[in-house]
Amino acid sequence: NMSFVRFLEWVFFLYFASHIPITLFIDLQALLPGELYPQSLKDVLRWYAAQFKDPMMLDPPAWFKSFIFCEALLQTPFFPIAAYAFYKGGCRWIRTPAIVYATHVATTLIPILAHILFYRFPEAPHPGPQSPQERLALTAIYAPYLLIPIILLLTMLLSSAYGAAAAPAREGRAASKKKR
């Protein structure tokens, strides 16, 4: 159904467009020197980390920093391109980059969510989630960054609007031309 695909494109547009300021102003604070950020943005990060008990953003382990590095280097340049493609709608050229992006991000979210759910976080200097409710609250913050990429991946793989049904037809035409 094309109206459902268009609805998903708007969801993807909002996801990628909102990801730009979140990455630049919040996420990259875990990687870049603090002097680059005004106190107001540092305060937002500290409020978030305290409110949702996310010590990974204030004192990131090396493995988490590697994911932020990938976000900075590989994902951030893709965000405005993807936002444009999904805002415009029907841009089949976004299919392959969106598949790569969605697969990469979904893969990084699995260890992050496992860490949140199962790691025994210290209570100091930056308290992590201790109770099941605190773990679920933090999981809920990260979950959209797994769920939307999975929906994006399935849309790119299965929707005829993005060429999923057209690919076998192209192969069939190429094969029939070779036989001639």
State residue 86 phi and psi, 5-degree precision: -80, -25
Q: DSSP code of 159?
A: -
Give me the DSSP letters along 140-158: HHHTHHHHHHHHHHHHHHH
Q: Token match 């976080």: residue? A: 121
**How far apart are the C-alpha atoms of 134 and 117, rounded to whole Å?**
9
pTM listed for this prediction: 0.87
Q: Which amino acid is at 53?
A: K
Which tokens go with 93? 């050229």
pLDDT greater at residue 169 or residue 42:
42
How far is it, in rounded angstroms, from Cα 132 to Cα 140? Answer: 12
What band does 165 get if pLDDT is binned at 50, 70 and 90? low
Taken in order 157, 163, 166, 170, the sign of the CA dihedral is negative
**Cβ-based burial of 179 (10 A; exposed 0-12, middle 13-18, buried ≥19):** exposed
- Which pLDDT does position 170 carry in this prediction? 44
Q: Is the pLDDT of residue 120 over 90?
A: yes
Note the pLDDT tens digit of each residue in 49-68.
Answer: 999 999 999 999 999 999 99
